[in-house]
Amino acid sequence: MQDEVKKLLDIKERLRKRIMELEDELSTLRDAEQAIDNEIKSRSITPADQLQTQSVPPPASQPKSGTMVDLKSRDGEKIGEVEGDDRSLVVRPLKPLDPEAKPTKFLIRKLEEYRRGDEDLVRGKRLSEGDAFNYDLEKGEGGSIIAISIRNYRTNARRQEVMNIIRWTIERNLESKGSNQ
């Protein structure tokens, strides 16, 4: 019986040491993950000071009912066209978007978040179904995205947020296509 207790105490001590080793390793891995996240953010996300200069387009570029305006990159290059009114937008990138590209997947994920958020409001009867955010992706050859239709963005702030994400997505797609050529 005494030998069994000794063995159990020995096993317990080895487990405690191993748990401490694993906790140290986990801490190191989390630090490395955070460093990588910070590096990714610094390389791929537009800094806030640049967003402020692009976030509110001049009034001339705000689509009026049924009008078409150019969508421009941060550098002022035309990267698409936007047609819209006070409830909907249609964005047509000059070059089709690769649906498998990470920026495009990010865009679709964000649009889904908006849609699901409004679905929750509809289920909670805080929003009518006809006013809920929705979107469609028009696909061309090979499944590439040639147009993005947004309906019921409801506020100018949300419209601007969606447009910033779309602009960012188109720019990143163009950058990746340029580096592959």
Q: Where are the domains of the chain?
A: 1-44, 59-180
141-177 pLDDT tens trace: 889 999 999 999 888 888 889 999 999 999 998 887 6
Other beta carbons within 10 angstroms of residue 146's beta carbon come to: 14
What pLDDT is recorded for position 45? 52
Which tens digit of pLDDT belongs to each residue from 93-151? 999 999 999 999 999 999 999 999 999 999 999 889 889 999 999 999 889 999 999 99
CB under 8 Å to 172, separation ≥6 — which residues?
44, 101, 102, 103
